[in-house]
């Protein structure tokens, strides 16, 4: 023992053999523990984990928890990681997987009865449905005049794409989001986007939404654009170059005018809120997102909103 290839003893060869022996012992303990764990958990549990209808990361966590693979203090100690095995939250002497998930007083405090979870999920679902339903209520502020939905044919000039845009804004926190959609036909979206951002006002947000929509359209190779917005003040400023834009939107309006110079062909129209429900929903969704999100064109709620809005498309261009 401790011999080298030439048969001579050396400290280096002895250290190597001892290290190898230690690794084999640890591997044997881990393998034995894992095999024992597998034997104690019925196959139907493993099948349930991988077949449950949930996110992949949830299934992965359940599998790791059952396979003793969660990085608890006890588990790390067992793998020769020199850390304190006690629970840092409640001070228990051993932080096992069971302790992390449901035995720790901190975990118990965070656990919610299943009935409360179901009720909360139902409430969030109803809130989601309400947010994605196009609003047909009359608005009564200066930038969004009252409107009554009227069935008007949806049309654009040949070779153009329509850009609808909108913004959502929480005044108390200055949290906002932009939403815009490209279409050549009311029922067939080309691109639908939600963009969370910081805003100073709803008007500045809606001007920014128009700008972002135009820039994204140009980046995709579209140069004949029809832009629809339900913000009357912004549309008036874009239609009349001599009009003095409010200071809060002046830089954005100037940017849009510059972007839409030749060879870009861009027209601007005011539409009532009832005909702008899709982007209102996109903007509201953006409030809960962390980054820009491009929604798949096959998204069921998006296609449903397109169909609903096609039936209520009251276009009122500013003269």
pLDDT in tens, 207-251: 999 999 999 999 999 999 999 999 999 999 999 988 888 999 999
| CA–CA separation, 278 and 276 (whole Å) | 6
pLDDT at 314: 44
CATH number at residue 239: 3.30.420.10
| CA–CA separation, 165 and 226 (whole Å) | 11
Q: Which residue has the tokens 């815009």?
A: 180
Whether 206 is in a domain gets the answer yes
Whether 182 is in a domain gets the answer yes
Query: The tokens of 192 are what?
Result: 């639908």
Q: Kind of pairing, strands 293-295 and 188-198? A: antiparallel
Whether 10 is in a domain gets the answer no
Tally Cβ neighbours within 10 Å of residue 177. Answer: 27
Answer whether 212's CB lies under 8 Å from 176's CB.
Answer: no
pLDDT at 109: 63
Answer whether 47's CB lies under 8 Å from 38's CB.
Answer: no
Same domain (yes/no): 91, 147 = no
Find the domain containing 205 and state its range. Answer: 132-311
Answer whether 118's CB lies under 8 Å from 103's CB.
Answer: no
| CA–CA separation, 225 and 232 (whole Å) | 19
Number of domains in the chain: 2
CA 193 to chain centre: 11
Same domain (yes/no): 220, 299 = yes
Residues whose CB falls within 8 Å of the CB of residue 17, separated by 6 or more in sequence, listed in order: 1, 2
Among 111, 141, 175, the domain-final residue is 111
Answer whether 286's CB lies under 8 Å from 195's CB.
Answer: yes
Three-state secondary structure call for residue 251:
helix
Whether 121 is in a domain gets the answer no
Same domain (yes/no): 168, 296 = yes
Rounded to 5 degrees, φ, ψ at 206 are -70, -30
Same domain (yes/no): 192, 298 = yes
pLDDT at 98: 82
Same domain (yes/no): 185, 269 = yes
| CA–CA separation, 227 and 165 (whole Å) | 8
Q: Low-confidence residues of the chain, pLDDT below 50?
A: 1-2, 34, 134-143, 145-152, 314-319
pLDDT at 312: 59
The beta-strand segments (E) located in the chain are 161-170, 175-185, 188-198, 224-229, 265-270, 293-295
* Distinct helix (H) and strand (E) counts, the chain: 12, 6
Whether 104 is in a domain gets the answer yes
Same domain (yes/no): 210, 272 = yes
Same domain (yes/no): 212, 105 = no
Same domain (yes/no): 98, 152 = no
Same domain (yes/no): 288, 140 = yes
Q: Whose CA is closest to 315, among 178, 70, 149?
A: 149
pLDDT at 80: 76
How distant, in Å, are the alpha carbons of 143, 194, 232, 234, 259 from that of 199? 17, 14, 19, 16, 21
Global model pTM greater than 0.75: no
Whether 136 is in a domain gets the answer yes
Same domain (yes/no): 98, 207 = no
Same domain (yes/no): 202, 249 = yes
Three-state secondary structure call for residue 232:
helix
Whether 57 is in a domain gets the answer no
Same domain (yes/no): 147, 205 = yes
Among 81, 111, 141, the domain-final residue is 111
Whether 16 is in a domain gets the answer no
């Amino acid at each position: 023992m401790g011999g080298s290839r030439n048969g001579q003893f050396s400290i280096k060869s002895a250290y190597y053999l001892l290290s190898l022996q230690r690794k084999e012992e640890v591997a044997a303990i881990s393998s034995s523990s894992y095999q024992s764990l597998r034997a104690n958990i019925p196959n139907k549990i493993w099948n349930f984990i991988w077949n449950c209808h949930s996110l992949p990361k949830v299934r992965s966590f359940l599998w790791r928890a059952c396979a003793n693979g969660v990085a608890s203090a006890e588990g790390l100690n067992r793998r020769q990681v020199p850390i304190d095995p006690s629970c840092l939250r409640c001070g228990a002497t051993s932080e096992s997987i069971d302790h992390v998930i449901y035995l720790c007083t901190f975990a118990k405090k965070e656990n919610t009865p299943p009935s409360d979870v179901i009720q909360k999920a139902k409430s969030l679902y109803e809130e989601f449905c309400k947010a994605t339903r196009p609003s047909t209520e009359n608005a009564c502020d200066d930038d969004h005049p009252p409107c009554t939905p009227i069935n008007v044919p949806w049309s654009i000039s040949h070779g153009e794409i329509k850009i609808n845009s909108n913004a959502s804004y929480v005044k108390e926190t200055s949290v906002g989001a932009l939403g815009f959609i490209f279409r050549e036909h009311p029922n067939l979206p080309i691109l639908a986007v939600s963009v969370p951002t910081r805003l100073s006002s709803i008007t500045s947000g809606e001007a920014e939404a128009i700008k972002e929509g135009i820039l994204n359209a140009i980046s995709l190779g579209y140069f004949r654009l029809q832009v629809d917005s339900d913000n009357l003040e912004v549309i008036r400023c874009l239609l009349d170059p001599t009009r003095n834009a409010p200071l809060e939107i002046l830089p954005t309006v100037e940017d849009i005018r510059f972007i839409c110079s030749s060879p870009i062909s861009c027209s601007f129209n005011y539409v009532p809120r009832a005909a702008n429900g899709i982007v209102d929903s996109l903007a509201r969704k953006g409030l809960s997102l962390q980054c820009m999100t491009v929604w798949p064109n096959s998204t069921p709620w998006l296609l449903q909103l397109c169909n609903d809005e096609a039936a209520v498309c009251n276009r009122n261009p500013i003269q």
